[in-house]
Structure 1
């Protein structure tokens, strides 16, 4: 008998001692980080609201109750009873019964009303029908990504359960290492922006944190071939943790599965969906530009199938000696500061990912309050001595002024923006400005993935700023449903009609002008001296966006009639940059994030910034807070214990 089987037998005995004598547990299994109890008495568990909570506290695990098939009401009767228990205002749109697990997935416009206070309605459902309810939100804006992900995971339920059982056994395996040490190896994004990737190692475990590309630098990927990463075999990595979905952190996650990785990916639920959206588009853009994609779309599906979503604040076992907790990073939807608790209190490391410290229209500011942190791996994108962003209110006023000036000249405003995060921030600014009369009401055309990314934002309002979440819950107040917003979905013909039409605003991907529909808008509107190109996000070194920002007015654009070839375009439109909309904290925000951390870390590794930025921030943190700081290069390894 393996050590895990022995452990499960002991757990079953312990569970039976903790529950009333008339409740039976037939089996106990691990599924990922969760402990699953199989029982013919699900209604008894549901009848005692404290029982599962007490078991979870006792065993320090998330507990899932799986009913025996004999305990389940037939689906026709169950559907009637479930709908009688749930308030009509919850707007249930679908019930999906899964006999293999005894779960019923309830899709509703207002999931909170299905859950009830402290889960009371969920328990009532199980008491009535025996089925274990799982609740998902009906997207206020129809999202093909959310629908496709949910349908795919439904089709792959059997495979996914096998994956979760295997991962669960791996997490709870016996620790082999007798030594106690912690190392971090840098595989990318050191003294550069992009290709974020790190390995966190202990004597028992290796965790890969992020695996992204480098904007504007085709072929520069993380150093995955080194022994600390895939050089010892793809499955020498125990788990992958993804801080957020931007491609400079996520683009090469599916590549791991091409190399043979078969383990879990931990991220938030919106990060999972956005990773699917962005990586599939990444492949599509590569194909359109005549570049060989690094992996096939099947690998994206494998990544999604292996994802284990974690909510902010949930402490989760991901290895025998490591617990992971995600906290809001304030950067994009679902972005997470990742806190690793290693050993039995031996050491604690936090990876900031990308952060925004102050509240924005979209998100609450990044969390920096942890039980313990000895080492912080910290982004430094705007860590330079003079990297101070304009106050958000001033930035919005600046954008409003530019829009009004361009409108009066009869021109159009073209804004390159990341589909995820900056676009939705700008949408909120424009909606409020038009509603209050600060700018004239005019069409706002959303091109590329922006509309789909916005739909995903409305699917997960619990990840948004408190007041915005409340507005989305009330359909008539949802700012993303404003009449001015138009989804460009007819391609070149519609773009030509917009270019030939009246004043408007165009929000288009890609945010760094590295490909995608923004190239078409430059062809259509770039020669017009009355129009204006407005940058609202970071433009990395080597990208066309940075070159335009620094004065290029003769730019290469793809030839629409000959894929793979380019022609030169004279850019006559005005070019402006409006600071203050970045999803990254500026120098002051980064300093304050560290300075107000509770507790303050002993060491900080400054990464994800150009050489000047990381060295400036490292020096400032050292002098201001008297802590050990580093500005590592790629392929360095740090031992912390």
Structure 2
């Protein structure tokens, strides 16, 4: 007999628990949460144990919302907030979200020591009728404000959507038996279009939904949904590990074909995904496919539901989700899925770094239970061992000074997210210690991404959080640096940090066109070089390369420092598996070229004695 509580059962239980002074007006589904609407939210804020007891009783996530009848105007809210915040804390923006009754205050001079007390929160809720969140104000408000505009404009639609999602999640299970299978739709024995379908008796869930942005053939550009036998509206939800296009790029097209379900991810992943999708509309169109429309990108944002790390959340009647830090880029998540009543547990690494970087903490590994691990193999070859960062930094600094002393320029083609921020932090360290004095040009899209990093400072490494403690310090904008937009280089030496990393498109192509014939200048790659790209030809020593249809005879210096990668190397992947060894029954290798996936699978099998597979796209595996 199935013992799961139905939605009506636990709602009645909550109603019977609360006294009249709680001001409870109604209970609604809010996606994977149960929202309690109250005319007296201060009661719950000052009696937080009541919510804790309810959560323990009904085993569901509960959140307090203010009843619409008590919500004051935006001007009144701003006036009240200024009186509550400490003197010297300047409010830059107030972002209202009427769908959930929350206000995000973006403030300057926000320090790590400051957090709003329960007393202040209660005062604000009582006087304004809104719940307040406080965040560090970014240097560039563009992306954050655009997303807020979308959320406000589509607030009524989101309220209906949240209710529909909750009704599907909290319905009774139809079958007590647990069966779990995986269908590999992309990203296996290849890099790009990451997508895995997880199926149970009750659910169909996607792990990522990306594109191969270097393919112009639809059979290798997009996930192979044609092999599943499912309609798009049969998919219950998408779990997005992070914002990179090889994991997120097909989401707008999913909505084009009728998907209307939730996308679960960490909070920083929402603005970063929006930034990358908008930035790459032209790229997708250049591959001879109809790129995403603004409406489709808005659909993605409207259906994203942010979840914090380390919180267990029901996402279907028989699957519970927990996200954990992956250490790859801001907001990147390792996904833990708990099936049925603990019948099986799956961890999907996504892209992860099991080693400290300047920007982020080490990837999380200590899951209580995990029987199956899907792990990436981007650097799965035996030769893929990273050098200590100190050695790499010294070599990089010597190269920079060599070029600058001769009057040359340095171009760093980088992705918008991840390695660009790591490189900027490194250059910032050089500049602040007096080892670098050159002008640094940072392309606008990278500046926008770095600004989002600062807003979510709680997700950064401890060292960077301490550096950012105070609004005047900007670790992602080194001394003598400027934000530029496809700039024409003037006289003098420059360091240029610009996308794209493979020189297939974007501003870096234009900058290369200005320095390719200058033997005093250099192109410096800091990421893994993918085959069949202009970058690959240059790193392999080719002098004549075709870029955007134009043949260039490259005379500038070409260097590669892959040690700035935000992926785990061969040794780090094996160490990660070792940490879970006692719990694992099966390892499935993905996200790597065929040779690297095969090598890593063989090594895990041989060294750790764990059954390991490296399946192909279109294959399937039954777990339970």
**TM-score after normalising by structure 1:** 0.92
* Distance of 1:173 and 1:112 partners within structure 2: 41
- Alpha carbons 2:136, 2:454 under 8 Å: kept: no
Partner of 1:446: 442
Shift in Å, 1:115 = 4.6
State yes or no: 1:437 paired with 2:426.
Answer: no
Q: Deviations over 1:232-271 (max 9, x none)?
A: 2111110001111111111111110011000000111211
Q: Deviations over 1:561-593 (max 9, x none)?
A: xxxxx2211111011111310011110111111
Q: How does 1:296-375 map to 2 (within 5 A)?
A: 296-375=293-372
Q: Against the structure 1 CA distance between its residues 112 and 431, is the aligned structure 2 distance closer, same or farther, given a 3 Å change threshold?
A: closer
State yes or no: 1:275 paired with 2:258.
Answer: no
Shift in Å, 1:372 = 0.6
Q: Against the structure 1 CA distance between its residues 438 and 166, is the aligned structure 2 distance closer, same or farther, given a 3 Å change threshold?
A: same
Please point out which of 542, 566, 569 is paired with 2:552. Answer: 569
* Distance of 1:111 and 1:342 partners within structure 2: 40
Shift in Å, 1:610 = 0.9
Shift in Å, 1:112 = 6.9
* Distance of 2:232 and 2:69 partners within structure 1: 42
- Alpha carbons 1:316, 1:323 under 8 Å: kept: yes
Shift in Å, 1:623 = 1.2
- Alpha carbons 1:411, 1:530 under 8 Å: kept: yes
Q: Give secondary structure in 1 for the equivalent of 2:65.
A: strand
Q: How does 1:361-400 map to 2 (within 5 A)?
A: 361-400=358-397
Partner of 1:18: 17
Please point out which of 397, 401, 404 is paired with 2:398. Answer: 401
* Distance of 1:235 and 1:336 partners within structure 2: 25
Shift in Å, 1:40 = 3.2
Q: How does 1:532-551 map to 2 (within 5 A)?
A: 532-551=522-541
Q: Deviations over 1:341-386 (max 9, x none)?
A: 1111111001100111111101111111101110000000111111
Shift in Å, 1:69 = 4.4
* Distance of 1:190 and 1:103 partners within structure 2: 41
Shift in Å, 1:487 = 1.1
Partner of 1:468: 464
Q: Against the structure 1 CA distance between its residues 113 and 430, is the aligned structure 2 distance closer, same or farther, given a 3 Å change threshold?
A: closer
Q: Give secondary structure in 2 for the equivalent of 1:521.
A: helix
Please point out which of 608, 630, 639 is paired with 2:613. Answer: 630
Shift in Å, 1:70 = 4.7
Partner of 1:612: 595
State yes or no: 1:516 paired with 2:526.
Answer: no
- Alpha carbons 2:410, 2:496 under 8 Å: kept: yes
Q: Deviations over 1:167-201 (max 9, x none)?
A: 11111122123432111111111111111110111
Partner of 1:60: 59
- Alpha carbons 2:99, 2:159 under 8 Å: kept: no
Partner of 1:487: 483
Q: Deviations over 1:9-29 (max 9, x none)?
A: 433331133223543533211
Q: Give secondary structure in 1 for the equivalent of 2:252.
A: helix
Q: Against the structure 1 CA distance between its residues 103 and 409, is the aligned structure 2 distance closer, same or farther, given a 3 Å change threshold?
A: closer
Partner of 1:225: 225
Q: 82-91 vs 254-263, which deviates more?
A: 82-91
- Alpha carbons 2:98, 2:152 under 8 Å: kept: no
Q: Against the structure 1 CA distance between its residues 77 and 524, is the aligned structure 2 distance closer, same or farther, given a 3 Å change threshold?
A: closer
Please point out which of 407, 410, 428 is paired with 1:410. Answer: 407
Count matched residues.
619
Q: 412-421 vs 143-152, which deviates more?
A: 143-152
Shift in Å, 1:553 = 1.3
- Alpha carbons 1:448, 1:509 under 8 Å: kept: no
Partner of 1:185: 183
Q: Give secondary structure in 1 for the equivalent of 2:532.
A: coil
Partner of 2:33: 34
- Unpaired runs of 5+ residues, structure 2, are none
Q: Against the structure 1 CA distance between its residues 535 and 102, is the aligned structure 2 distance closer, same or farther, given a 3 Å change threshold?
A: closer
- Alpha carbons 1:28, 1:38 under 8 Å: kept: yes
Q: Against the structure 1 CA distance between its residues 326 and 467, is the aligned structure 2 distance closer, same or farther, given a 3 Å change threshold?
A: same
Q: Against the structure 1 CA distance between its residues 22 and 378, is the aligned structure 2 distance closer, same or farther, given a 3 Å change threshold?
A: same
Partner of 1:121: 120
Q: Give secondary structure in 1 for the equivalent of 2:512.
A: helix
* Distance of 1:526 and 1:47 partners within structure 2: 64
State yes or no: 1:86 paired with 2:82.
Answer: no
State yes or no: 1:194 paired with 2:192.
Answer: yes
Shift in Å, 1:484 = 1.8
* Distance of 2:494 and 2:78 partners within structure 1: 48
Q: Deviations over 1:423-464 (max 9, x none)?
A: 11111111111221223x011111252111111111111111
Shift in Å, 1:58 = 2.3
Shift in Å, 1:297 = 2.5
Partner of 1:597: 580
Partner of 2:50: 51
* Distance of 1:8 and 1:374 partners within structure 2: 30
* Distance of 1:93 and 1:62 partners within structure 2: 32
**TM-score after normalising by structure 2:** 0.94
Partner of 2:492: 502
- Alpha carbons 1:114, 1:135 under 8 Å: kept: no
Partner of 1:256: 254
Q: CA RMSD in A?
A: 2.3
Shift in Å, 1:101 = 5.5
